[in-house]
Structure formats: structure tokens, C-alpha cells
Amino acid sequence: MVQYNFKKITVVPTGKDFIDIILSRTQRRTPTQVHKGYAISRLRQFYMRKVKFTQQNFHEKLSAIIDEFPRLDGIHPFYGDLLHVLYNKDHYKLALGQVNTARNLIGKIAKDYVKLLKYGDSLYRCKSLKVAALGRMCTVLKRISPSLAYLEQIRQHMARLPSIDPNTRTILICGYPNVGKSSFINKITRADVDVQPYAFTTKSLFVGHTDYKYLRYQVIDTPGILDRPFEDRNIIEMCSITALAHLRAAVLFFLDVSGSCGYSIAQQAALFHSIKSLFMNKPLIIVCNKTDLQPLDGISEEDKKLVMEMKSEAMKTVMGQGGEATDSGDVLLSMSALTEEGVIAVKNAACERLLNQRVEMKMKSKKLNDCLNRFHVAVPKPRDQKPREPCIPQAVLEAKQAADKEASAKEKRKLEKDLEEENGGAGVYSASLKKNYILANDEWKEDVMPEILDGHNVYDFIDPDILLRLEELEQQESVLQGLEADGDFEMDGAELTAEEQALLTEIRKKKSLLIQQHRIKKSTAESRPTVPRKFDKDRKFTSERMGRQLSSLGIDPTRAIERARSKSRGRKRERSTSRSRSRSRPPNSEVVPGEGFRDADQKWKAIKKARDSNKRNNKNARKGEADRVIPNLKPKHLFAGKRPKGKTARR
């Protein structure tokens, strides 16, 4: 877990906001009404409470600021030095010291004025002492406004610092600017560090996390370091130096063998030798990056000599840790972040070296001896000089041999996944769900299952000779089409007489008219409404027409016509009765029994009075008699005086 979380530090208000917060809290949380007629002891108590309450609020707020900001002497040296590099330890301590001094001064002021208030002889004197006490407290706080603003800036900057756990497994990447450190951390972690082709793109520490052998490793990308005296290094470089000095981590020193970073191998070797004291007691790996531009074997002899010197120094650090002599391949590795060649090998080598070092340190610690002291391994003493080999009973050996034979004889059961791979893979092979059915005959497994619809077997209604019937139907259609093509079914009119030709023209016209009517009806069938009889303008549905049609069919239409006419008259009567029935309110001129009016005149006067009484409501834009409006927007009972505890929703 991360030990230090600077994001939880509360916001530090400015001096003016601080005073507003405290004084408004004093006004809200203490009584506000006092009268001249009160006893002097009550007046003193009233104003003493104000002063004490204000001092307590100042003390709580300032104490929270002092406690939440970390003490540089009490946190991990890495964070202590990092905060010193970023903000200057002296300024930081001075700001917190001024806040602490202000807290003590406010406490003394409150103590002095409470003592004076005990001897206040009037309401005016007590009130003046209270005003003076609060004014002096606010003056003290105004004087530390710059310190509060400085601490707020530090809080914002600390909240942006990466959450680094100094005690976990860590891989630290260092080297000259623009040698490929950020590209490497982007490849092995999810950290999205900005990568640009110029120096000092990375200006602060960036953290990513990677996994190796089911363990989580912390990877830190540091800004580039230049080879110059310690005093001349800027804040960006000092962040890297601080991490190298205080974190127990596996160090990856990146070396750009192509020279595309703008620095030669000699300059990078000089930087390595100048900071090699920071690599002591740490696993060190020299990573030759950008081998896609320049292979390690293709560099000049002088550069090779410098690289070999760096490798020998790295080997010395390994031997200095008390470790065994490792292969040179573990100390000097080559990779290319662009082609990702060797990236995983570098990560695995660093994680393995770091893991081995941590295991060795634990083996050397006292905790291991404490654990070993709890175990006791019983070893029997030899009673004579005869050698006694381990003896396995013959029955056990025979049982093991039999079990091995059974295991070799039993074939491995094929799974559906194996069958799928053998038969073309996913999307090609379809698993059969019927092969595990338990039936009397295995051939029945693939039989077609009957489909049941509405209690009937669908297969019973399928004609087995349907294909033959379909072929016959197609043949008949082809014959008919051939006849139409050969026989020229349409008449051209050349062989007909004048009368037959006129008749043919009329038939064709009638046919086209019927086709048009049918198409219109078909297109508007769904959206066409049912037309009532009274809108039948063309008189297509009259009783006379119905009589003519029935007479042509040889049926007497008299009774049908009478029945239709009687139905239409009955419908009209029903409509009239329903209309009178739906009229529930009588006219104003009629007096209905039960209304309480003597006659129509009395009823009319009552209606007129009701209308006149509503005029005032209408003028005031009220809905009716029950519409109650409070014209005063600030009623006294809601906004005057003190509120009881818990009632804060109205303001």
C-alpha cells in the first residue's frame, strides 16, 4: 500500500475567507440577542462565550492545517528530500511555524480578554471588549495570509505528486535526456508518459506498474540528468538524484548507442561514472537502447571500450552486494523501444535481479533466525555403521505399477474443444447434442424429431410427393406460356367486322376501367374509412337499387325494403332520445326541484350575485375562493430571530 497520500490534505483558505468562515460560525452557533435589563453576570457570560467560541474555532482550523501537512523529519527520506527540492524545506517550515505562532497568539488574546470580561461593569464595556478581542484575532490571522497562500500552493502541487511507495519492489529508469526512458515505461506499463523527440520532455517523476511472476512491480521514470556539478543541477534533475539516492530499487541506466539523443557515448559514460556512487547496494543493469538505428556491435572501438568499463563497474556493484558473479548478459543488455526487440528481456532481468536481492536481504535479516528457531527437525542417531537405504514395500511398488498401466491403457477422453480443432475450428464444426442420448439403438440418435403444432404432428400434413407435383405444375405453366407466345392471345382487330371491332373496343375500355378501380381500392384499402350512408353522394347504397338487384335475382324485395326503412327510423329516434338524456344541466330559466329557489327570478338573481363576487378574484389573478396568496415575500416568522437546532434549510 502507498504510505503517503497527499491528496487528502484539506484546502487552505485565504486570510479573508478564513476570517469570514470563523466569524459567521460564531454568529450562527452562539446567542445573538441581549438586553440592558439582564443581570451583569449574564451579560459577561454572553460575551465571554463569544470570545471563547471564536478562539476555539481558530484553534481547530489552524491545528488541522498543521497536523495534515507532513513533517519533513517524520516521513520517508525520499519524500523529505523531494519536498525540499521542490519547495525549499526552510520556507515550508517557516510557513507552518507562522501558523503555529498565530494559533498560540490567538489563544493568549482570548485568555487575556476573558479575564478582562470577568470584571466588565456594563453592557457597553463588555461589548467593546468582545469587539476588541475578535478584532485582534482577525489582525493576527491577516498577518499570516501570505503563509496561508504559500501553503495552499504547496498543497495543490503535492496533490499532483505521484503516489510512490518507497518500500515496495521498484524499478528505476535513469540516464541522459532523450535516450528512450519514457518509451520503455510506456511499453511495459500502462503509464501514458509523453514522448517527444527533444530533451527534457519528462519534467517530473512518473509511476507505472507491471507484473512479473504474479508480483506487482513499481516502475519509475525519472527526468534526464546532465553531467555537471551537483550545485549546477536544476530542480528537474534533482528529482532524479533524490529518487536514486533514497529508493531501494533495481536501476536501469539507459545508454543511447546511436547518438541520436544529441550526446555521445563518452558523455553518457562520464555521467555514469559521476553518479555511480548512487548505484551502490542496488541491482544495476546497463541498457543499450536504439539498436534499430545502430547495433551494439557496430560502434567504434573507443566506444566499445567505454561500454566495457561501464559493464565492469556494474559487475563490481553486484559483487559489492555480496552476490555471486553473474553473466555479463544480465548486466549489459540491448533493446529497441521502437521495434520492441529485447524490451521484455530487460524487464524480466531487472525484476529477477531485484527479487533475488530482496530474498538475499531477508535471508540475512534477524527475522529469518527467529523463524528457524521455531522449527526442529528430528534426525535419528545411527546405532551402527551399516548403511540403510530408503526401503519401499513391495506391495506399494506393485500398486503403483498397476496404476501406471491403467493410466497408460485408458485413452484420454476427447473433449468438444479437441473435436472442434480437428474438424475445422469454430464456425465450421457444429457440436451434436444428440450423440449422448441413451436409446436402444444408436442409429436412432440422428432421427428427425417430429414437430408438434396445435397438438398435430406437422409431418403428417406434408405431402411426400410434393416435389413431383411441383415439377408437374411447372411443366403446365411452361406449356401455357408457350401457347400464349405461339397463339398470340391478343386480337389485333384485322379479322373482325366493324360491329365486332366496336364491341372489342368497349370491352377493352371497360376492362381497363375495372383494373383502375381495383388498383385504387387496393392501394387505399387500409387507410380508407367506412363511409356512413348519409354521405353516400353517388347513391350507390339506396333501397331502390337493392330492390332492383333482388328483383333481377328473382327475389321479392318488398319485405327487405320495409325492414331497412324501419331500422333507419328507429336509429333516428334513438339518437334524439340520447341527445336529450345527455343534457344534465337545466337552463337558468328553469327551476329544478331540490335547488332551493322559489322561482326563476330568484335563481337568476343568485347566479348574477355569484358572478359579481368572482370579479375581484379575477382582477387579482386568483383561481377562485380557495386561492390563498401570501403577498409579503419575507414573512417575519420565517426570517427573524434565532433558528432552533437543526433548522438550517430556510437560509
DSSP string covering 276-328, please? GGGGTTS-EEEEEE-TTTS-GGGS-HHHHHHHHHHHHHHHHHHHHTTPPPPPH
Lowest mean pLDDT among 383-397, 462-476, 515-529: 515-529
Please state the length of the chain: 651
Q: How far apart are CA 42 and CA 35, in angstroms?
A: 10
Question: What is the structure's pLDDT at 460?
Answer: 79
Lowest mean pLDDT among 69-73, 173-177, 324-328: 324-328
Closest CA to 47 of 104, 132, 142: 132
Q: Is 393 helix (H, G, I), strand (E, B) or coil?
A: coil
Cell of 154: 504547496
20 against 462, higher pLDDT: 20
Using only C-alpha atoms, the chain has a radius of gyration, in whole angstroms, of 52
User: CA nearest 213: which of 308, 88, 355?
Assistant: 355
Asked whether the predicted pLDDT for residue 346 surpasses 70, the reply is yes
- Residue 469 and residue 463 in contact, taking contact as beta carbons nearer than 8 Å: yes
Separation between Cα atoms, residue 102 and residue 22, nearest integer Å: 15
Confidence at residue 97, expressed as pLDDT on a 0 to 100 scale: 93
Q: What is the pLDDT of residue 650?
A: 52
Neighbours of 173 (CB within 10 A): 28
C-alpha cell at 110: 482570548
The answer to whether residue 577 scores a pLDDT higher than 50 is no
Taking alpha carbons only, the member of 413, 421, 449, 418 closest to residue 433 is 449
Phi first, then psi: give them for residue 162, nearest 5 degrees. -70, 150
Provide the pLDDT confidence category of residue 66 given band limits of 50, 70 and 90: very high
Tell me the three-class secondary structure of 553-581, residue by residue.
CCCCCHHHHHHHHHHHHHHHHHHHHHHHH
Cα separation, 252 vs 288, in Å, equals 10
For the chain, the distance separating the N- and C-terminal CA atoms, rounded to the nearest angstrom, is 44
Q: Which domains does the chain have, with CATH numbers?
A: 6-158 (1.20.120.1190), 164-364 (3.40.50.300), 543-570 (no CATH)
Torsion of CA 99, 104, 105, 107, to 10 degrees: 130
Q: Pick the range with the lowest mean pLDDT from 181-190, 389-398, 538-547.
A: 538-547
Instruction: Find the mean pLDDT for residues 77-84.
Output: 80
C-beta separation of 272 from 318 below 8 A: no
Instruction: Express each pLDDT in 505-519 by its tens digit.
Output: 888 888 888 888 888
Whether 143 shows a pLDDT value over 90: the answer reads yes
Asked whether residue 116 carries a pLDDT value surpassing 90, the answer given is yes
What is the average pLDDT value for the chain, to the nearest integer? 81
Q: In percent, how much of the chain has pLDDT > 90?
A: 16
Between the ranges 80-94, 143-157, 619-633, where is the mean pLDDT highest? Answer: 143-157
Phi, psi of 146 (to 5 degrees): -60, -40
618 vs 139: which has the higher pLDDT: 139
Classify the phi-psi angles of 363: left when phi > 0, otherwise alpha if psi is within -120 to 50, otherwise beta.
alpha
Neighbours of 358 (CB within 10 A): 14
* Tens digit of each residue's pLDDT (9 = 90 or more) over 429-438: 888 888 888 8
In this predicted model, which residue has the larger pLDDT, 514 or 326?
Answer: 514
Cβ atoms 241, 218 nearer than 8 A: no
Three cell numbers, residue 95: 510557513
Q: What are phi and psi of 294, to 5 degrees?
A: -150, 110
How many CB atoms are located within 10 Å of the residue 160 CB?
9
Chain centroid offset of residue 149 CA? 34
Q: What was the pLDDT predicted at 497?
A: 85
The answer, yes or no, to whether residue 80 has pLDDT greater than 70, is yes
Which pLDDT score is estimated for 51? 95
Is pLDDT of 1 > 50?
Answer: no
| DSSP 3-state of 491 | coil
